[in-house]
Amino acid sequence: MASRKGSQQSRGDGDKYSVLLPTYNERENLPLIVWLLVKYFGESGYEYEIIVIDDGSPDGTLEVAEQLQKIYGKDKILLRPRAKKLGLGTAYIHGIKHARGNYVFIMDADLSHHPKFIPEFIKKQREGGYDLVSGTRYRGDGGVYGWDLRRKLISRGANYVTQVLLRPGASDLTGSFRLYKKEVLESLVERCVSKGYVFQMEMIVRARQLNYTIGEVPISFVDRVYGESKLGGNEIVSFLKGLLTLFATT
Ligand code: GDD
Ligand code: MN
């Protein structure tokens, strides 16, 4: 058969990828991230759907998402909003309930996670049959661009302390560009107690404890251009609380 590169045709291998996009004030970013997702999924031919979980963004993100749904269709763009800002961890949990794919991608909507890496995640997962593939900024060609020293230290510090206390043996514990087998994601979510940013860390620690297999793909994380980060001081406090809880209970 002729090369499928660049075609919009489905591979028809039965796999489907649900992409969870949590949004809070991402009006400027959403059209571009969705366009890029459509482009990279289209070119590679994998079946997919994009689930936008907006938490009542005051900037009108949901209205933008509705426009995108009109452009790309209701089977490709699903809107599963919540009335107010209830946190990143619970946004994923909410999104998973609506995912129809047998694989689920979790990523940020602010273009810090580039959809160009998606085919690499899928290739990695298929090569090793991994239960989860985690994007890593701290191995191989991975990296962080655009963060100030304070933010770099917070990320490195959170990773380091978690490595020392819990030894999960993955190189990026707080990153949030990941691909899961749907049933693995569901079983992990059931066990996770955290509600905010610490969710990512808890997920990979529990994955290790349950002996799920983890593959890694180096990614470059580029700080957002539009809008601002929602990671505040209280998220750092809840990260530390979550870490100590995990340390004490596992
Ligand atoms: N629905 C919803 N509800 N979405 C949220 C919420 C919330 O309460 N808080 C944040 N988001 C969305 C943002 O709109 C964005 O799409 C994504 O979650 C990540 O939020 P950012 O505020 O951009 O996070 P960051 O860039 O500071 O942090 C990134 O790096 C961290 C450390 O590595 C993220 O990748 C984090 O997940 C990661 O832990
Ligand atoms: Mn961000």
> Each residue of 149-173: pLDDT tens digit?
999 999 999 888 888 888 887 999 9
Tokens representing residue 217 in the block:
């793909």
Sorted by sequence, the CB contacts under 8 Å of residue 118 that are 6+ apart come out as 17, 37, 40, 41, 44, 105
Query: pLDDT higher for 2 or 59?
Result: 59
Tokens representing residue 73 in the block:
């269709």
Query: Nearest Cα to 135, choosing from 233, 47, 66, 204?
Result: 204
State mean pLDDT over 215-226. Answer: 95
User: How high is the pLDDT of residue 238?
Assistant: 86
Burial of residue 242, with CB atoms counted within 10 A of its CB: 0-12 exposed, 13-18 middle, 19 or more buried: buried
Mutation test residue for ligand 1: of 153, 172, 176, the one with most atoms within 8 Å of CB? 176
How many CB atoms neighbour CB 151 within 10 A?
A: 14
**Predicted structure pTM score:** 0.92
Q: What does the mean pLDDT of the chain come to?
A: 91
Which pairs with CB-CB distance under 8 Å and at least 24 residues apart come from 58-63? 58/25, 59/25, 59/26, 59/27, 59/227, 60/27, 61/23, 61/24, 61/25, 61/26, 61/27, 61/30
User: How high is the pLDDT of residue 13?
Assistant: 84
**Tens digit of pLDDT for each residue in 189-220?**
988 888 778 888 999 999 999 999 999 999 99
80 Cα to the center of ligand 2, angstroms? 20
What are the DSSP calls for 21-33, one per residue?
EEESS-TTTHHHH
197 Cα to the center of ligand 2, angstroms? 11
Tokens representing residue 135 in the block:
């994007």
Enumerate residues lining ligand 1, CB below 6 A. 22-24, 26, 53-55, 85, 87-88, 91, 108-110, 112, 155, 174-176, 197, 200, 224, 229-231
213 Cα to the center of ligand 1, angstroms? 25
Query: pLDDT higher for 89 or 127?
Result: 127
Protein residue whose Cα sits closest to atom 33 of ligand 1: 175
**Tens digit of pLDDT for each residue in 52-75?**
999 999 999 999 999 999 999 999
Q: Could you give all domains of the chain from N- to C-terminal order, each with its CATH number?
A: 16-249 (3.90.550.10)
User: How high is the pLDDT of residue 169?
Assistant: 79
User: How high is the pLDDT of residue 9?
Assistant: 62
Query: Nearest Cα to 176, choosing from 127, 230, 137?
Result: 137
User: How high is the pLDDT of residue 230?
Assistant: 87
Q: To which residue do tokens 């870490």 refer?
A: 243
Distance CA 35, CA 241 (A): 38
Q: What is the largest CA-CA distance in the chain?
A: 56
User: How high is the pLDDT of residue 33?
Assistant: 98
The band of 8, judged by pLDDT with boundaries at 50, 70 and 90, is: low
- Helix (H) / strand (E) containing 91: helix 88-96
Query: pLDDT higher for 32 or 243?
Result: 32
The yes-or-no verdict on residue 130 having pLDDT over 80 is yes
User: How high is the pLDDT of residue 184?
Assistant: 97
User: How high is the pLDDT of residue 196?
Assistant: 79
The band of 175, judged by pLDDT with boundaries at 50, 70 and 90, is: very high
Torsion of CA 155, 157, 162, 163, to 10 degrees: 100
Query: pLDDT higher for 80 or 3?
Result: 80
